[in-house]
Amino acid sequence: MIDLSPMRSVRVDPAALRATVGGGATWADVDHETQAHGLATTGGLVSTTGVAGFTLGGGIGWTMREFGLACDNLVAADVVTSDGRLVHASETDNPDLLWGLRGGGGNFGIVTQFELDLHPLGPAVYAGPIFYPADTAGDLLRTFRDWAGDAPDEITALVNLTTAPPLPVLPEEWHGKKVAAFVAVCSGSPERGEELVRAFREVAEPIADLLGPMPYQMMQSLLDPLWPKGIHAYFKATNLARLDDELVERLCAIHLAALGPQCEIHIHQMGGRSHASRTARRRSRSARCRSCSTRSRRGATPPPAERTRSGRVRRSRQRPMPRPAARTSTSSATPARRGRRTVRRRTPGSCR
């Protein structure tokens, strides 16, 4: 294993709107340097995630509908290839390699340095979660579905069917109970943000409404305490071309039947610039939403494992997830895998 974690330098050129980022940097490193200039690029929902694997795998984050996926913002990279050469990839030098790096994962060599596009953002955004009781999750998902189609690119949101964490911002009687959360980030003014999320203030009586103006950097690390090192997360994801009433009911039922607080289902709003295509990452243009589900934490009982015919371990689910009507894709199909459906097993600690 090659450990790049000491290579965490981040240099910002505010005039060129570019950041040069070391191959071992995390999104916390990038946000810290770029926000000092009122700039940002699409990073992870959890700030301890590495820039490298995230960007090379696609990278969905709070600004993806406005700025594109993380891999869309990759403009150049220094790569050590498998034959030991250090090469530069950009639109003019080795453009095919750059294409492959934009979503092709770690298959093309070791990236020692990334050059990323930056965009003006912050320091404040209109952001945060609204928590609702689980029995209103169906109404929330239907509102989310109807709202998402027309929402402008300046807002990115998701619904999380989860369990209330024991945080002081939530009433104690809800701790450990099944809840649904709407979480959004809007780059516009507080007034604009308020206007854009109005429908969610009418959907049901919230348990806690924490959506409002906050520093972008705070939003970027808001979820960090829920994702400490070593939680052994296991995620599966698929694109959803529709979120009809039948699927809404199934998602709600799966949520209520989920084994423990370690299990959750995220329904991500896609669209906007996250559908632009200059990358190797396979994506479904018809996908309005993306569903990402299930994690297990250290100490929690993971779902039973079964062996597939190829000998790989597969987690069994109580009921199969409904198949979307149109195309599905896994999160990071490489160019070599294009054209066939891939099922990717993730190691503990990785996700999506």
Ligand X SMILES: Cc1cc2nc3c(=O)[nH]c(=O)nc-3n(C[C@H](O)[C@H](O)[C@H](O)COP(=O)(O)OP(=O)(O)OC[C@H]3O[C@@H](n4cnc5c(N)ncnc54)[C@H](O)[C@@H]3O)c2cc1C
- Say how far apart CA 220 and CA 139 lie, in whole Å: 27
Q: Is 111 in the site for ligand X (CB under 6 A)?
A: yes
Is residue 56 within the footprint of ligand X (CB under 6 A)?
yes
What letters, b where the CB count within 10 A reaches 16 and e where it falls short, cover 201-239? Answer: eebbebbbbbbeebebbebbbbbeeebeeebebbebbbb
Among 12, 28, 39, 52, binds ligand X (CB under 6 A): 52
> Residue 46 interacts with ligand X (CB under 6 A)?
yes
Task: Give the range of 40-48, 153-161, 248-256, 283-291 binding ligand X by CB under 6 A.
Answer: 40-48
CA distance 273 to 71: 12
Nearer to ligand X by Cβ, of 35 and 332: the residue is 332
Report if residue 49 touches ligand X, rule: CB under 6 A: yes
Among 105, 128, 261, 335, binds ligand X (CB under 6 A): 105
What single string gives the DSSP state of each residue in 31-76?
A: HHHHHTTTEE----SSTTSBHHHHHHT----TTHHHH--GGGGEEE
Interface residue with ligand X among 14, 38, 106, 138 (CB under 6 A) is 106
Instruction: State both tokens at 157.
Output: 């949101």
CB-based contact 306:316 (threshold 8 Å)? yes
Q: Report the 3 state secondary structure along 69-93.
A: CHHHHEEEEEEECCCCCEEEEECCC
Amino acid in position 176: G
Rule CB under 6 A: is residue 333 a binding residue for ligand X?
Answer: no
Residue number, 46 or 280, with CB nearest to ligand X: 46
> Does 335 interact with ligand X (rule: CB under 6 A)?
no
Q: Is 9 in the site for ligand X (CB under 6 A)?
A: no
Residue with tokens 């505010």: 14
x-marked contacts with ligand X along 197-236 as a string, rule CB under 6 A: ------------------------------x-----x---
165 touches ligand X (CB under 6 A)? no
Main-chain phi, psi angles of 153, to 5 degrees: -65, -15
Q: Which of 29, 39, 54, 140 binds ligand X (CB under 6 A)?
A: 54
**Segment contacting ligand X (CB under 6 A): 83-91, 106-114, 136-144, 159-167?**
106-114
Side-by-side strand order, sheet with 110-117:
10-13, 18-22, 110-117, 74-80, 86-90
CA dist 17 and 272 (Å) reads 21
Name the minimum Å distance from CB 40 to ligand X. 14
322 binds ligand X (CB under 6 A): no
Q: Is 61 in the site for ligand X (CB under 6 A)?
A: yes
Q: Cα dihedral angle (145, 146, 152, 156), rounded to 10 degrees? A: -20
CB closer to ligand X, 72 vs 204:
72
Least Å distance, CB 138 to ligand X, is: 25
Stretch that binds ligand X, among 103-111, 155-163, 194-202, 271-279 (CB under 6 A): 103-111
CA–CA gap between residue 75 and residue 54 (Å, rounded): 15
The residue ranges that bind ligand X (CB under 6 A) are 4, 23, 44-46, 49-50, 52-54, 56-61, 105-106, 110-111, 227, 233, 349-352
